[in-house]
Amino acid sequence: MKFKTLFSILFLFTLFSCQAQTSKNIKTIEAPAFAKEIKTNKKPQILDVRTPAEFAEGHIENAVNVDWQGENFVKNAEKFDKNKAVYVYCRSGKRSLKASEKLEALGFKKIYNLDGGFLKWSAEAKTAK
């Protein structure tokens, strides 16, 4: 009987903790889906949230560098249309997820986060050739 109670408590805890982390406005998607989304949107808003040095080493075409670690992230992000989809990426996906959460808090409605970041994007591009 104790096992069933413990199992029920753990199940409910897991269920509620997962729901708390789910966002209706942020979708983390793989590189091929990210590329498809960008191509299907007229003038997509692509945010590279890496440092300027990382951005200079290479970036997705038409991306705008808005450094997540910079002191002007919010100010620069506010320049984008909150009602249009925004495509966010970083090096590996960690900073972009945090930046996506901040964008959501700022009122952005549709946010696509690149799973695996620019590293995975670059790897996918090389294998596609």
State how far the alpha carbon of 1 is from the alpha carbons of 7, 9, 11, 12, in Å: 10, 13, 15, 17
Q: Which residues contact 25 (CB under 8 A, 6 or more apart)?
A: 104, 108, 109, 110, 111
> What is the distance between the alpha carbons of residues 118 and 116, in angstroms, rounded to a whole number?
7
Q: What is the gyration radius of the CA atoms in the chain, in angstroms?
A: 17
Q: Which of 56, 67, 126 is CA-nearest to residue 98?
A: 67
3-state secondary structure of 79: coil
Q: Exactly one of 31, 63, 90, 111 is catalytic; which is it?
A: 90
Q: Is 18 a catalytic residue?
A: no
Cite the active site residues.
Answer: 90
